[in-house]
Amino acid sequence: MINIPRNFIPSLFTILNVFCGFMSIINSAHGNFDTAIFFIIYSALFDAVDGLAARLTKSASKFGVELDSLADVVSFGAAPSFILYNIYFKDHGDLGVFLSSLILLFAAIRLARFNVQLVGFDKDYFSGVPVPMAAMTICSYIYFYHNKLFGYDLSSKFIIALSIVLPILMVSKFRYDSIPKVSLSAIKKYPVKFIFLFAGIVICVITKGEGLFLFCLFYLSTGIFRGIYNSLRKSGRHHRFSESEIESKELN
């Protein structure tokens, strides 16, 4: 009887993740952009399942973390960048190559930073936009909106903006909510997170996927607004402390 190690199951899903990323690149090269986008979505599903499998089999390991990051660089870095290049930037010379590569380059930086900071990091939040979320934002925009809802000029500006803003957000210090594992205790502890997650799923189902891009934009905005709010609160607190110090010095 073959003895299959426990860590093989989550690693298998991770391998399927990177294989789908490779299939996305192949289809993008042949101009099958819709199929290429669906393979990235398949990668995201396998990426979610491998973490769940690791928890269920209690086989989380450093090897699994490293393999997952390598897979994510391909599926959510190289594959979306290649789609961006082929669908728009290939006609813009060296600048197009540079702009389309930003997702890949910053995804690699983001994942390397995540692995280094893995010990002791806050499991309730991510520092910077998760790489799969950035890829989903690009894919949902291209599939549903690029050159469809907007005119060519506006679509061009929007895709350039996404190609620049998303990489910056990935390596930013903005805090983004992580998705806790589904359990009764987790639902009781994080009711707001699960309400928004459930609402997002319902919206995507009702709109036949079109709502995914809007949900991604909402998620991106949460980290930005949280960062602005925390900065203003810290600034106000510092201002109050400064006034208190001045008053105490005057009294002395």
**Averages of pLDDT over each 10 residues, the chain, 252 residues:** 66 92 96 95 90 72 85 96 94 94 95 76 77 94 84 86 95 85 70 82 87 91 89 72 55 54
Domain 8-178, CATH homologous superfamily name and number = CDP-alcohol phosphotransferase transmembrane (TM) domain (1.20.120.1760)
pTM of the model: 0.84
By C-alpha distance, which of 55, 48, 23 is closest to 37? 23
What is the reported pLDDT for 120?
46
- The pLDDT, as a whole number, for residue 182 is 62
Q: What share of the chain is helix, strand, coil (3-state, %, to 5)?
A: 80, 0, 20
**b or e along 107-133 (b: 16 or more beta carbons within 10 Å of the residue's beta carbon)?**
bbebbeebeeeeeeeeeeebbbbbbbb
Q: Are 176 and 130 in contact (CB under 8 A)?
A: yes
* Cβ atoms of 50 and 14 closer than 8 Å: yes
- 212 burial via Cβ count (<10 Å: 0-12, 13-18, 19+): buried
User: Long-range pairs for 26-30 at CB < 8 Å and ≥24 separation?
Assistant: 28/79, 28/82, 28/83, 28/86, 28/87, 29/82, 29/86
Helix or strand holding residue 125 (H, E)? strand 125-127
Gap between the terminal Cα atoms of the chain: 83
| Residue 191: per-residue pLDDT | 80
The CA distance from 75 to 96, in Å, is 20
Instruction: Give the CA angle between residues 11, 17, 19 to the nearest 5°.
Output: 105
Q: Specify the pLDDT at position 110.
A: 92
Give the Cα separation of 98 and 93 in Å (integer). Answer: 9
So what's the pLDDT on residue 250?
54
For residue 94, the SS3 value is helix
Closest CA to 82 of 43, 45, 137, 135: 135
Q: Output the pLDDT for position 19.
A: 96
Determine the Cα angle at 129 with ends 139 and 232, to 5°: 135
